[in-house]
């Protein structure tokens, strides 16, 4: 909306922002069956025509709280109705599929820009290939190597735990203008190799001095 107004009216977008905000607040939303301003403030957004009319009596105290609560309930019911309607549309078009061994299935592939796959390039490349026969069913998890070990981590009462180092993988020196900063790549327990972090060697010496005494740090 902001882009369209700037193109039509020209000039600085900041000048049109109040008008765009007013338009959005005064626009009817089918999901809540009212405008956003009415849902937030409990009354309709007054147009410029009605700015100089006599205002309505303001609500105070418990009446205002009660009206706000009723408005929230109405909005929640309308949102729930809209969600149910959208869910019914999706359920008609989608269904859960379960495959068994010896079933034949097509494999869906995604086209890559500038890459020729299966003898065709771009939009002409096939979206589904073969079919393939299912020789083994491995449930939800496709790759067994991605299974996370279930050993005890030692969760504290504050729902936090202390990371324990396992191995120092690498060491590097970053040369600045006036000094050198040494970092080491640390592998922590319950983490994969891809999740190893670079830590300052100076800080690690204070926290884990035994690592450097045992000669585990690579040169």
Note whether residue 104 is domain-resident: yes
Note whether residue 73 is domain-resident: yes
Find the domain containing 123 and state its range: 100-142
* 23 and 77 within one domain: yes
* 203 and 131 within one domain: no
* 80 and 10 within one domain: yes
Average pLDDT for runs of 10 along the chain of length 219: 61 68 74 81 66 46 66 67 82 79 85 62 74 81 60 63 72 84 82 80 81 64
Note whether residue 147 is domain-resident: no
The pLDDT of residue 69: 66
CA distances from 56 to 37, 38, 59, 120 (A): 17, 15, 9, 69
Domain count within the chain: 3
Count other Cβ atoms within 10 Å, centred on residue 33. 16
* 35 and 81 within one domain: yes
The pLDDT of residue 115: 58
The pLDDT of residue 51: 45
* 78 and 15 within one domain: yes
Instruction: Write the CB contacts of 170 (distance below 8 Å, at least 6 apart in sequence).
Output: 184, 185, 218
Note whether residue 57 is domain-resident: no
Query: Would strands 128-133 and 104-108 be described as parallel, antiparallel, or unpaired?
Result: antiparallel
The pLDDT of residue 187: 82
The pLDDT of residue 7: 66
* 113 and 77 within one domain: no
* 169 and 111 within one domain: no
Instruction: Write the CB contacts of 144 (distance below 8 Å, at least 6 apart in sequence).
Output: 138
Note whether residue 122 is domain-resident: yes
d(CA 117, CA 54): 71
* 15 and 82 within one domain: yes
The pLDDT of residue 173: 86
What residues does 182 pair with on adjacent strands? 173
């Amino acid at each position: 909306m902001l882009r369209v107004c700037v193109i039509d009216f020209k000039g600085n977008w900041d000048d049109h922002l109040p008008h765009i905000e007013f338009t959005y607040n005064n626009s009817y939303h089918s999901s809540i069956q009212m405008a956003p301003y009415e849902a937030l403030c409990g009354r309709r957004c007054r147009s410029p025509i009605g700015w100089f009319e006599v205002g309505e009596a303001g609500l105070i105290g418990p009446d205002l709280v009660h009206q706000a609560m009723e408005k929230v309930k109405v909005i929640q019911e309308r949102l729930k109705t809209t969600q149910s309607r959208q869910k019914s549309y999706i359920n008609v078009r989608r269904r859960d599929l379960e495959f068994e061994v010896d079933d034949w299935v097509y494999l869906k592939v995604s086209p890559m820009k500038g890459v020729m796959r299966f003898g065709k390039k771009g939009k002409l490349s096939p979206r589904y290939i073969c079919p393939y026969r299912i020789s083994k069913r491995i449930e939800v998890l496709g790759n067994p190597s991605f299974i996370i070990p279930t050993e005890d981590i030692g969760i504290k009462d504050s729902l936090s735990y202390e990371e324990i180092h396992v191995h120092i993988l690498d060491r590097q020196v970053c040369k600045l203008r006036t000094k050198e900063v040494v970092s080491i790549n640390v592998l922590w327990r319950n983490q994969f190799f891809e999740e190893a972090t670079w830590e300052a060697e100076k800080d690690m010496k204070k926290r884990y001095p035994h690592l450097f005494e045992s000669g585990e740090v690579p040169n």
